[in-house]
Amino acid sequence: ADTLAVMLRSIILAAARSSRMEKLVATAPVSRNIVSNYVAGTRTEDALRVTRELVEGGLKVTLDYLGEDTFHTHQAEATRDEYLRLLASLRADGLTPAAEVSVKLSALGQRFDEEMSVRLAEEICAAAETSGTTVTIDMEDHTVTDTTLDAIHRLRETYPGTGAVLQSYLRRTEADCREFAAKGSRVRLCKGAYAEPESVAYQSRLDIDRSYVRCLNALMRGDGYPMLATHDPRLVEIGIDRAKWFDRGPHSFEFQMLYGIRPEEQRRLADEGYQVRVYVPYGDEWYGYLMRRMAEKPANLGLFLRSLGRK
């Protein structure tokens, strides 16, 4: 069953990178319900409205303006502009520091002009600082792990609160966690959402979960600020257990989950006094994001495919 799941996942993730599939899906009468389960909406106002609701309910938020793999300067700059607008609005609405932003370097042109992507990220970090909040740099596939971590080191020289993301499916990540577990360092630990070759990544669920626990141990034992991004009930329990073991108060780490996934669990953890941050994506470019969510839970795919055929 594990082999079949791995195969299905890589087929869906291949489709996530296909522009032909994207056209098909984007022009099909996709049930808005499916997209709106996972995405706050297309406009800045939608992002602000959802953020306000979550923050009023005692949750924290990280906002993602959807987009990735940009190959045009004007598009990368437009993404920067949207983040600047968003950050100014978050501050004006009193939603910082409860809300921060998550940024993909590939949306800022990392794949064709790395220097430009770092420069644009710097401008977003500066705006976040002015607004009294922080930026976390999302992690994409393994071909950009090194350049992304290098960029984060550079950003942290001026903006030490800049968050990094490490993915437990990569074989290298346990070592990265040790390196990043230093004082002041904000690290989001997730399993990883891309199709990766066996040479660099664990393939089976069990190996990925075991690696997650080793990484979690390294981060919780260290002096940084771990951000445990997972919906996996077993890993959440282990996080709670390690916090006790390493004598960490509820404000010295946080849980993170995606908008629309296990909202009742997000509430339960917050009610128990844990910090919970919800990752809220918004914008038009929802295709890649949605397909990665489908790959995580193929049961959702049946629903999605049926909705494609519906008028």
Question: Distance of alpha carbon 212 from its chain centroid, rounded?
Answer: 16
User: Counting contacts by CB under 6 A, is residue 138 touching ligand FDA?
Assistant: yes
Q: What is each CA distance from 71 to 25, 111, 116, 198, in whole angstroms? A: 21, 7, 12, 28
Using CB under 6 A, which of the segments 108-116, 155-163, 191-199, 266-274 binds ligand FDA?
A: 191-199
User: Counting contacts by CB under 6 A, is residue 230 touching ligand FDA?
Assistant: yes
Shortest distance, position 37 Cβ to ligand FDA, whole Å: 8
**CA torsion sign, 211 to 215 to 220 to 226?**
negative
User: Counting contacts by CB under 6 A, is residue 232 touching ligand FDA?
Assistant: yes
User: Counting contacts by CB under 6 A, is residue 201 touching ligand FDA?
Assistant: no
User: Counting contacts by CB under 6 A, is residue 297 touching ligand FDA?
Assistant: yes
**CA torsion sign, 227 to 181 to 100 to 296?**
negative
User: Counting contacts by CB under 6 A, is residue 139 touching ligand FDA?
Assistant: yes
Using CB under 6 A, which of the segments 17-25, 82-90, 119-127, 227-235 binds ligand FDA?
A: 227-235
Can you tell me which of 11, 116, 261, 301 binds ligand FDA, judged by CB under 6 A? Answer: 261
Interacting positions 233-252 with ligand FDA (CB under 6 A): none
Which parts are annotated binding residues for substrate? 104, 292-293
- Whether the Cβ atoms of residue 264 and residue 22 lie closer than 8 Å to each other: no
Shortest distance, position 136 Cβ to ligand FDA, whole Å: 8
Interacting positions 140-159 with ligand FDA (CB under 6 A): none
Can you tell me which of 167, 173, 211, 266 binds ligand FDA, judged by CB under 6 A? Answer: 167
Shortest distance, position 139 Cβ to ligand FDA, whole Å: 4
Can you tell me which of 109, 161, 192, 288 binds ligand FDA, judged by CB under 6 A? Answer: 192
Omega before 97 cis (within 30°)? yes
Cβ density class 231-265: b for 16+ within 10 Å, e for less: bbeebbebbbebbeeeebeeeebbbbbbbbbbeee
Rg of the Cα atoms in the chain:
18
Shortest distance, position 231 Cβ to ligand FDA, whole Å: 3
Dist CA 137 CA 149 (whole Å): 9
User: Counting contacts by CB under 6 A, is residue 191 touching ligand FDA?
Assistant: yes
- Residues acting as catalytic residues: 138, 188
User: Counting contacts by CB under 6 A, is residue 107 touching ligand FDA?
Assistant: no
Kindly list the residues in this chain that would bind ligand FDA in the complex (CB under 6 A). 138-139, 165, 167, 188, 190-194, 229-232, 256-258, 261-262, 279, 293, 296-297, 300
